[in-house]
Amino acid sequence: MVLGVRPEHFAAAPAEQTGWQVTAQVVEMLGNETFIYFDMAGRQLIARMAGEAAVEVGQEVRLLPGQAHLRFFEPSADGARIRT
């Protein structure tokens, strides 16, 4: 099974919640939003944060994917979506 989540469906994890612990590899500040690039399971992912996130390259960041927005796909060549 392959998990899909769009960059805009990530949020910074509050202190009381666990999230995905990732290392920021690239931080792209665009003024109204910040893109944080990170690796997970050998794949590069991107999280989009509103405004200028106080994140630096190499910094550990905890992110939460929006569970209502998670999508699951078949790992086969056609990558068919699995309806939940």
User: Beta-carbon neighbour count of residue 22 at 10 Å?
Assistant: 19
Residue-level pLDDT at 62: 93
Where the chain has pLDDT below 70, the residues are none
In CATH, what number is assigned to the domain containing residue 23?
2.40.50.140
> Could you give the number of structural domains in the chain?
1
What is the pTM assigned to this prediction?
0.81
Residue-level pLDDT at 74: 79
Residue-level pLDDT at 61: 93
Domain extent, residue 73, equals 2-82
Residue-level pLDDT at 5: 82
36 contacts 49 by C-beta, under 8 angstroms = yes
Residue-level pLDDT at 79: 81
28 contacts 12 by C-beta, under 8 angstroms = no
- The token duo for 37 is 């690039």
- The token duo for 65 is 């994917």
